[in-house]
Amino acid sequence: MKKRVCLFLFVFFSFFAFSSETTGKIAVFNTLRLGKSKKNYKMTASVIKDFDIIGLLEVMNRSGVEKLIKELEIETGKKWNYYLSPYPVGESSYKEYYAYIWQDKRVKFVKERGYYQSENKEFSREPYGVDFKIEEFDFTLVLVHVIFGKEERRRRGEIFKLNKVYDFFQNSDSNENDIIIAGDFNMSALDESFENLLNHKDKIICVIDPIIKTTLGKSGLSSSYDNMFLSTIHTWEFTGESGAVDFSEEKYKERKESISDHLPIFIEVEIVKDDD
């Protein structure tokens, strides 16, 4: 009997995702070559403005992040901040940065964890982690962008090692146990390659239901490539609310060009107290 590898949770799927005094929203967004591709920064900012913190993938340069920050401050009337990974990762023909942007009043940057380290190069783009705190809830947000490649076996090879990524960041600081692995995995979480991560002793689950399509195709929403993973033992602050922000409005080609070919995904967490 085939083993079920993903726990389905209550899903909130909407254009809006408001935070409250007792909860916060953590999001991840593949921005489609931020800083180099043609993009409407005002529209992009309007999609993510209600999140507390957003991890960004496919960031090509600092100027793209700064343009987005500027538009977010205009949209919200609030101060935003950002952090860019120290150098881009990838293969010689294509490299990208990871970035984090957040509402300055709500979120505190704690420390950089850096890139995942291994003896052999196990990822085309090594996962990257940073510690943050939303009010009283502190956590490590690890961003991952799994290689797409012409062959699925390359994707599965990287996904198969995600349990090692979790252990690396979990073991690097004994005082911080809330490890959130999130990003674009170029594979549905139902794929068997996730079993090493989902069978972890820390009872890790995927929190975006794979029934939700998170990429924009030519005529509709397409693959369920974007997800987040966390431990139900350690990260009890997760409220069970999660989803994706569908900004497409059935204008798939137009929105891909002006915003991205991926939807931002998010989770809600309690922020009034922390267990670490």
Q: What domains can be seen in the chain, in order of their start residue?
A: 23-270 (3.60.10.10)
Question: Coil, strand, or helix at residue 269?
Answer: strand
Question: Whole-angstrom Cα distance, residue 116 to residue 134?
Answer: 24
**Which residue ranges in the chain fall short of pLDDT 70?**
1-19
- How do residues 7-48 score in pLDDT, each as one tens digit? 544 444 444 556 678 999 999 999 999 999 999 999 999 999
What is the reported pLDDT for 9? 47
Instruction: Specify which residues 184 forms β-bridges with.
Output: 145, 226
Q: 45: left (phi > 0), else alpha (psi -120 to 50), else beta?
A: alpha
Nearest residue to 146 via CA among 198, 100, 112, 181:
181
- The pTM is what? 0.94
Strand-pair category, 107-115 with 94-103:
unpaired
Looking at residue 1, its pLDDT comes to: 36
Dump the DSSP string for 126-192: --EEEEEEETTEEEEEEEEE----SSHHHHHHHHTTHHHHHHHHHHT-TT---EEEEEE-SS-TTSG
How many Å apart are CA 50 and CA 41, to the nearest integer? Answer: 15
Q: Which residues contact 49 (CB under 8 A, 6 or more apart)?
A: 72, 75, 76
